[in-house]
């Protein structure tokens, strides 16, 4: 994979991961706010009849509050997981590129070591030149 493609993949992974994470943080802040402010029993006069369990405490909210918080949570999880998937693809591709680079370096080292050894072996096998006068 080309370096430009790797950079684009990394960019898109972060483009989805960070907003997804931000959405999860906002939804947890909103849940905590609801836990502090919403009634613990149904309030029909305020239309707060839809129950939501937040950390083991049951609070009652309007249908619109329930829809908004559920949409924020679900969308944030979806965007985050998509970014996480792209991140895993990026890491897998990056690991393959690194492994191939290391393999190429290892092959170059191995080849240069073998060339040195084969030259030494060929020198050892060469007959010594003795003069016929001896």
Model pLDDT for residues 78-112, shown as the tens digit of each residue: 999 999 999 999 999 888 878 777 776 666 766 66
Domain ranges of the chain: 3-119
C-alpha 40/C-alpha 53 separation (Å) is 10
Quickly tell me which residue has 């965007």 as its tokens: 79
- pTM, rounded to two decimals: 0.69
* Interacting residues of 117 by C-beta distance below 8 A, sequence separation 6+: none
C-alpha 13/C-alpha 94 separation (Å) is 13
Give the model confidence (pLDDT) of 32-64 as tens digits: 999 999 999 999 999 999 999 999 999 999 999
The torsion angles phi and psi of 23, rounded to 5 degrees, stand at -65, -40
């Amino acid at each position: 994979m080309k370096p430009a493609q790797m950079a684009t993949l990394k960019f898109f992974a972060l483009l989805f991961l960070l907003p997804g994470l931000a959405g999860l943080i906002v939804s947890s802040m909103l849940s905590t706010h609801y836990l502090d402010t919403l009634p613990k029993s149904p309030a029909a006069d305020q239309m707060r009849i839809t129950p939501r369990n937040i950390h083991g405490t049951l609070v009652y909210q309007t249908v619109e509050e329930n829809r908004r918080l559920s949409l924020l949570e679900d969308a944030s999880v979806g965007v985050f997981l998509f970014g996480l998937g792209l991140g895993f693809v990026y890491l897998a591709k990056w690991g393959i590129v690194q492994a191939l680079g290391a393999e190429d370096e290892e092959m170059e080292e191995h080849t240069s070591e073998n060339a040195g050894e084969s030259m030494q072996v060929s020198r050892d096998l060469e007959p010594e030149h003795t003069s016929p006068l001896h």
